Structure 1
Amino acid sequence: MRLPLILQIVSFLCLTTTMAVAISWSKPGCPEQCGNVTIPYPFGIGPKCSANSSFVVICSNDTIPPKPIVSSIKMEALSISVHGTAIIKQPVSPMNCSDKQKKQSLEFSLFGSPFTISHTYNSLVNLGCQNTVWLSANETSTASGCLAICDDNSTDTTCNGVNCCQTTLPPGLQQIQYTYRSIQSTNNSYCGYVFLAYDKWFQEDYKTFQGLQSDLSNPFDKEFRYAPLVLEWEINATSYELSNYASCTYLNAYPSKYYDFCRNPSLYSSSLFNENDYKFPSKYCSCLDGFEGNPYLHEGCIDIDECSNPTLNGCIYNCTNTIGSFSCDHPVDHKIGSRVKILISIGSGLGALILLLGSWTSTKAIKKRIKTNRKCKFFKRNGGLLLEQQLSSSDSGLHKTKLFSSKELAQATDRYNENRILGRGGQGTVYKGMLTDGRIVAVKKSKRVDEGDLEVFINEVVILSQINHRNIVKLLGCCLETEVPLLVYEFIPNGTLFQHIHDPNDGFPLSWEMRLRIAREVAGALSYLHSAASTPIYHRDIKSTNILLDDKYRAKVSDFGTSRSVAIDQTHLTTRVLGTFGYLDPEYFQSSQFTEKSDVYSFGVVMVELLTGEKAISSIRAEVGRSLATHFLDSMEENHLFDIFDARVLKEGKKDEIVAVAELCRRCLHLNGKRRPTMKEVAVELEGIQRLKEGSIQNHDENKEDHLIEIAESYDFSLISGSIPLDNKTACSDDHPLLDEP
């Protein structure tokens, strides 16, 4: 496969100047090019031409044209820029098919070199389908992952989950490990490719890659063995002399901030950093404004002649170039007589007076009209017309939704003060505010709404406006006349369920009683959405961070931005895959068809969180490649279930109650959605467990009680780990203090 033209000219674009004067990029007396690639200092062909051994380039003459090989990493360079980047040619090999989890490292390592993998310009690509890939940043942590599903008829060219997926990289990596698994059996020896790639290159050639997906039986016949990768490099700028017109910015303090190839890097002032704080400070260096060239050479930065290029100066008349800048000449025409000058002065004065009077008389009207037009523009852009259509076509209580003014909400949030921020999410920022009537509210300031996303925003307004349930966050109103849309909710003071499970405290521990009550309340709310609301509603993003706790620690289901209403006779929604990794229904992954049973699966994961106190995705479990749901089901099957339960659950809960809830979790997490209970059945069973706990079971529930006891007796309780000191409160993870809520 031939590399696209964009890679062949990127070095030329970054090293091209606006001057006619030739600029020397390499060290004096050293070759400047190897084949078609310019080698700028601190890189150099041979040890005498480079700053140190890490930047030695070997020009291999075995090919035509010759290839530059960076000696310290033994990789071919496609381009090198003095702005801290280099594009190298990395080998690519296909994955072997396996329905078992396999861990693999990419075929190169940058350890011991000044190079790191750029997270700004690269992505990890999973090319193929029915493959799941987890990216391991190091031995103990998982950075991200993605799943590619199959669709032979798809014309999608975004590599966004259909026949191909890609995921972002964390900054500062020098080696990458990933775990992959085929999610269904196949007869092919190869299942696709996992590789790092320069984003622009991959987007340009994605249509070419689609041909690889049709025949993976012999992938090397397709001539796909290499892909370009952008590396970032740093150098100890204090060990050699820089140009007289160069400046440097420290990269140590902000390792996640990187710069574009041809951009002036003066984004941070070097005065922010104390050079004495760094033993070996790595610097990003560039020529000062008005100069260009190689800042790492003593005479490398050369003055730009702005006068030779009209786009670089704003002179109307003559332009004079100066060192680092330019000046403009504005000569006076002496042929203009004094009378003409007087007339011009009088005319200018009268014109200015008329303009001033006209501006003064029309300022108020113009300001008012501009303000009104801006509000109308924002109202239309933020989906006001779509909301009006929903209001006029709905028989529900949508008319009760209040439209707040922008002035009222700005005053309530102290003009969106940073100190008022309650949290940030994928769809916006939430602020704490106080209305003029004294009510405390949460104001959600959405991200800029694109035309294609209007339906998502209006959807949340419409759905929440027709919901009236004590365990669902109440929408008080919205504001559409601002640049970004605003939603106003009731304020929920005690944070998220996620915080109380994974960051517990002694002041208000999450007891077994509370866990059961929260599970019942959330199940009741979802049961209401699925079967009791005027139109069935699928939430589509149930997770512990979307369950809030009010002043009495009652559960409140929130975040309906991705929810959908469905017709009474509609069994599922076919959509692009949305949700949170670790909570998503595996069936939804494969079919893109979301059903009410998909919400049941996500709720099952939340219940397992309540039982175990563990996170849905954990770097420790990721080492063996299992989510919390898989870990729970495997432990239940192996009769080691009580080894993973939270210490407080084991201490406070009765065995038959715990096993009954665990059995309900197992049914909710069944891989076959048809075998899962409905949310109404889940809510009824949780209420039954509570009645059993209170000893008030009616006669017609005796058989159910016997069934629960029979389940409990089927487990070997002697297998509970003896290392858990149930009588020692300091051993319980829930006994750590909870951080104060803002």
Structure 2
Amino acid sequence: MVLQLAFGIILLIIILPTYPRASAQDYPDPITVKAGCNATCGGVYISYPFGMEDPKCYVNGWFEIECRETSEGGHKPYLKSLNLEVRMTLVTRGLVDIMNPIFHWNCQSKETTQAMINLRGSPFVYSQSRNKFMAVGCNKLAFLQSNGTSVGGCVSICGGSEDARDTNTINMMYTGSNDDGCHGRYCCENSLPSYLSEYNATLQDFKNDNSSSSSSSVSGECSSAAIVDEYWPQVQYTSSRVSDLNGMDYVPAVSDLNGMDYVRAVIEWEIWEMLANHTIQLYPDSNCFNLTNSLNQYNGWECDCPIGFAGNPFLSHGCAGILSSLGSIIFLLGLWLLYKVVRKIIIKKRKQKFFKKNGGLLLQQTMSSNKVNADKDILFSLDDLEKATDHFNKNRVLGRGGQGTVYKGMLVNGRIVAVKKFKVEGNVEEFINEFIILSQINNRNVVKLLGCCLETKIPLLVYEFIPNGNLFEYLHNQSEELPITWDMRLRIAMEIAGALFYLHSMASKPIFHRDIKSTNILLDEKYRAKIADFGASRIISIEDTHLTTMVQGTFGYLDPEYFRSSQFTEKSDVYSFGVVLVELLTCQKPIFVVEYEGYKSLASYFVECMEKDNLLDIIDKRVVKEVKNGQIIAVANLAKRCLELNGRKRPTMKELTFELERIQKLEKNSNTEQNHKKS
């Protein structure tokens, strides 16, 4: 590379002076709007296929921009077809920044009810990668709904000393300078599903009392929810800062959502073939390609300018060459070589910096000592994982969760792996401690951790690949070809219980999983259960009985006692396991809709059915037909014990493992006797 740089510099010295400098005519300005069309409204630049006034200025009615006069005397651009204010059009990325409506409840001078946000039938959808669903309020369950079903949600809580009306406290906790987002205290957030075109938001109280019940009514506190830009509130006032009463610059806080009507969000768009009228012929200078996953039911297209060109790829001859003379090309070559060398050095130093920061030296030292029997080949390079996942291509995504995104990859030796990319940085010492412990776990019902990559800002974890998805998908999307039998349900329950028993009692130090749910239980090629996703797990000392933390988890599986006290014990994992056991019995989702009652917790509904002696009404019909009621009742009683509101009354995972084994033996003996009688 150094020789390449030297060669490039020599070429510059010898050849460049012999060529005339290019004139201004050699560098035409890139075209971004059609001739004769207005390009700006209220300081916002409008690029084709968007346009104003004359129909020739925009590709079709969906992309018409209306420049409206404001009450202050200025102007603002609006996407006329959807009546949404536009803040920026990013043509080469297929994005539009808009001001998105906010849903409010019990907020002064704000309407409590609001119509559904609907982009259906248009070439626009909410960007999954650039947005998040956010809710602000105390002790609330927030649901993101689309097409009549819940597609996401989150839970926000407040401690006893916090008050939603104490905005000074809230603003100190959540200012725009805090880039860590909100994670459950006063506000919560979650990612969006792909191709979301219509939605509304609902809010419920999560009562912090002894009953730990949820209600469809919302308390008198001001609460809000909306789809917002992934980086909000930092981006809210990028173009114009506002000042407070003291004349100081004011950085927006999460609590501002309650007082706003609109918040910044991002929508994606594409050109439809039926509307573009032979797209490729329209844009001969552009690189246009057909989208394999179109946003809509029509054939979608994206375009960009070729390398070395800039401008608007959606206009005929809209892409102009940046540099054209031979001397300039040689000059570019030298710059390119210099850039490659410098970039390689910067990347190498950055990888070394992250490796040290993430505890790589400590990990190497620990592995080289005799204290750990971990595999020596557990450190992966970033280059290897980028190649394995096709540079973390979105088509390789296996799943997304609160902790991060998991990608499918193939190593150079042909081994298929799952690579977990975290969203937020954790404590390095905790990460190393957890990694060392998990790398030593040898339990066939725990997903095996193969290694990690410490060359990135946030460490990457590499796990064995589990081919048959998760238990949630298997239960709720059963096929006639491979239905889940009673034997499989009982075996899966035993495998989960045994793995948790191992983590709680047989690992070198107790491990609390803290996020047991059916989506975190994977099924291998033989449909054996494997517990996954230890992102929220904690390792505690043998002497400790509980862990005091900020409440986090998945509602529907969350231990009510933990929610009230913020103290997580091994019995909190037991409660979550009880919900999974009920899922296996009923094939019902942990949160479901009941006619006339709204959302209901599966755990509370199951206990209610048992207390009213209506157990068989909720049990999966396949189970009722397949096995005797005595076996169903035995497992149901175990599940009920797990769901006790008082954690001390719940069994341990050791007791549950032995009890499930006993039930399975009784079933086998019963089947053997029946077969003997038939013969």
Q: TM-score range by the shorter chain?
A: 0.5 to 0.7
| CA positional deviation for 1:131 | 1.6
**In the alignment, is the contact (CA less than 8 A) between 2:513 and 2:538 conserved in 1?**
yes
The residue that corresponds to 1:149 in the other structure is 157
Aligned to 1:644: 618
Contact 1:387 1:458 in 2 (8 A): no
- Tell me, in whole angstroms, the C-alpha distance in 1 between the residues paired with 2:483 and 2:545: 40
Deviations 1:6-32 (A, max 9, x none): xxxxxxxxxxx9999666654433433
After superposition, give the CA deviation of every residue in 1:179-204 in whole Å (9 maximum; x if it has no partner).
Answer: 32121279963432111223344234
What is the aligned partner in structure 2 of residue 212 from structure 1?
A: 255
| Corresponding residue for residue 92 of structure 1 | 102
> 1:234 aligned to 261, 270, 290, which one?
270
Q: Matched residues in 2 for 1:35 and 1:26: separation?
A: 17
Shift of the 282–550 alpha-carbon distance from structure 1 to 2, 3 Å rule, reads closer
2:403 matches 1:385:
no
1:642-685 per-position Cα deviation (integer Å, ceiling 9, x unaligned): 12323342234332332232132123123443443333443455
Q: Quick one: distance in 1 between partners of 2:334 and 2:410?
A: 53
Give the gaps of 5 or more residues in structure 1.
Answer: 1-16, 98-102, 258-277, 318-370, 697-742
- Does residue 32 (structure 1) correspond to residue 39 (structure 2)? The answer is yes
User: What amino acid is aligned across from residue 132 of structure 1 in structure 2?
Assistant: L
Q: Deviations over 1:714-736 (max 9, x none)?
A: xxxxxxxxxxxxxxxxxxxxxxx
| Aligned-partner Cα distance in 1 for 2:550–2:596 | 26
Asked if structure 1 preserves the Cα contact closer than 8 Å seen for 2:283 and 2:315, the reply is: no
Whether contact under 8 Å (1:475, 1:488) holds in the other structure is: yes
Q: Which residue is 1:304 aligned to?
A: 322
Residues 293 and 309 of structure 1: is their aligned pair in 2 closer, same or farther, counting only changes over 3 Å?
farther
> In the alignment, what sits opposite 1:348?
none
Q: How many residues align?
A: 575
Correspondence list, 1:575-724, <5 A = 575=549, 582-589=556-563, 592-616=566-590, 624-637=598-611, 639-683=613-657, 685-686=659-660, 689=663
User: Are the equivalent residues in 2 in contact too, given 1:422–1:432 (CA < 8 A)?
Assistant: no
Matched residue, 1:365: none
Work out whether residues 98 and 267 of structure 2, in 8 Å CA contact, stay in contact via their aligned partners in 1.
Answer: yes
**Structure 1 length normalisation: TM-score?**
0.61
Q: What code does the residue aligned with 2:234 have? A: Q
- Report Cα offsets for 1:356-401 as digits up to 9, x if no partner: xxxxxxxxxxxxxxx9xx99997996646247559979xxxx6444
Q: Normalization by structure 2: what TM-score?
A: 0.66
Which residue in the other structure is 2:288 paired with?
249
Q: 1:163 aligns with which of 168, 179, 186?
A: 186
CA gap 1:430/1:58 in 2 versus in 1, 3 angstroms: closer
Aligned to 1:275: none
In structure 1, distance between residues paired with 2:630 and 2:468: 31
User: 1:208-250, CA deviations, whole angstroms, 9 ceiling, x for partnerless residues?
Assistant: 554737xx9xx5xx4x222223233334332799877631524
**Aligned ranges 1:463-478 → 2 under 5 Å:** 463-464=437-438, 472-473=445-446
Contact 1:660 1:689 in 2 (8 A): yes
Q: 2:481 & 2:283 partners in 1: Cα distance?
A: 62
Offset at 1:599?
A: 0.7
Aligned equivalent of 1:202: 233
Amino acid in structure 2 at the alignment position of 1:167: N
Tell me which moved more, 304-313 or 111-120: 304-313
Alpha-carbon distance between aligned partners in 2 of 1:375 and 1:27, rounded to the nearest angstrom: 49
Q: Specify whether residues 467 and 643 from structure 1 end up closer, same or farther in structure 2 by C-alpha distance, changes over 3 A only.
A: same
Contact (CA 8 Å) 2:29, 2:320: kept in 1 or not?
A: no
Q: Is the 8 A contact 1:243 1:300 kept in 2?
A: no
1:132, 1:105 → 2: CA distance? 18
Instruction: Confirm or deny: 8 A CA contact 1:601 1:668 kept in the other structure.
Output: yes
Structure 2: gaps of 5 or more residues? 1-23, 163-168, 209-216, 238-249, 336-347, 391-395, 671-679
1:228 & 1:312 partners in 2: Cα distance? 44
Deviation at 1:604, TM superposition (A): 0.5
In structure 2, the CA distance between the partners of 1:459 and 1:627, relative to structure 1 (3 Å rule), is: farther
Superposed, 1:424-573 pairs within 5 Å as 452=426, 454-455=428-429, 458-464=432-438, 472-473=445-446, 501=475, 511-513=485-487, 515-531=489-505, 535-544=509-518, 560=534, 562-573=536-547
1:176 is paired with a residue whose SS is strand
Query: Which residue matches 2:124?
Result: 115
State the structure with bigger RCO (CA 8 A, min sep 6), 1 or 2: 2
Partner secondary structure for residue 62 of structure 2: helix
CA distance in 2, matches of 1:431, 1:23: 40
Going from structure 1 to structure 2, the CA distance change for 1:22 and 1:534 (only over 3 Å counts) comes to: closer
Q: 1:313 to 1:232 in 2, by over 3 A?
A: farther
Q: Write the distance in 1 (CA, Å) between the matches of 2:278 and 2:409.
A: 49
Q: Residues 279-428 of structure 1 correspond to what in structure 2 (within 5 A)?
A: 281-298=299-316, 300-304=318-322, 313-314=331-332, 383=360, 385-386=362-363, 388-389=365-366, 399-404=372-377
* Alpha-carbon contact 1:241-1:297 (below 8 Å) kept: no
Distance 1:149 1:578, change over 3 A: closer
Kindly tell me: are residues 146 and 22 of structure 1, through their superposed partners in 2, closer, same or farther at Cα, counting changes over 3 Å? same
Letter in 2 for 1:115: F
Quote the residue 2:261 is aligned against.
225
Aligned to 1:138: 147
Distance 2:467 2:223 in 1: 48
**Structure 1 residues 89 and 509: CA distance shift in structure 2, 3 A:** closer
- Contact kept, 8 Å, 2:374 with 2:440, in 1: the verdict is no
- What is the deviation of 1:578? 5.6
Corresponding residue number in structure 1 for 2:195 = 172
After superposing the two structures, state which structure 1 stretch, 246-255 or 21-30, moved more.
Answer: 21-30
* Partner secondary structure for residue 286 of structure 2: strand
1:293-346 deviation per Cα after TM superposition (whole angstroms, max 9, x unaligned): 4444556444435679989953789xxxxxxxxxxxxxxxxxxxxxxxxxxxxx
The 8 Å contact of residues 99 and 262 in structure 2, kept in 1 or not, is answered as: yes
Q: Is the 8 A contact 2:360 2:454 kept in 1?
A: no
Amino acid at match of 1:166: E
Q: Is residue 57 of structure 1 aligned with residue 65 of structure 2?
A: yes
Give the direction of change, closer, same or farther, for the CA distance of 1:79–1:390 in structure 2 (3 Å limit): closer
Q: Cα 1:618–1:454, aligned 2, differ >3 Å: closer, same or farther?
A: farther
3-state DSSP of counterpart to 1:540: coil
The 3-state SS of whatever aligns with 1:31 is coil
Query: CA separation in 2, counterparts of 1:159 and 1:18?
Result: 52
Task: Give the share of equivalent positions with the same residue, in percent.
Answer: 40
- Asked if the contact 1:616/1:627 (under 8 Å) is kept, the reply is yes
Partner Cα separation in structure 1 for residue 526 and residue 520 of structure 2? 17
Is 1:91–1:227's contact at 8 Å kept on the other side of the alignment?
Answer: yes
Give, in whole Å, the separation in 2 of the partners of 1:316 and 1:546: 51
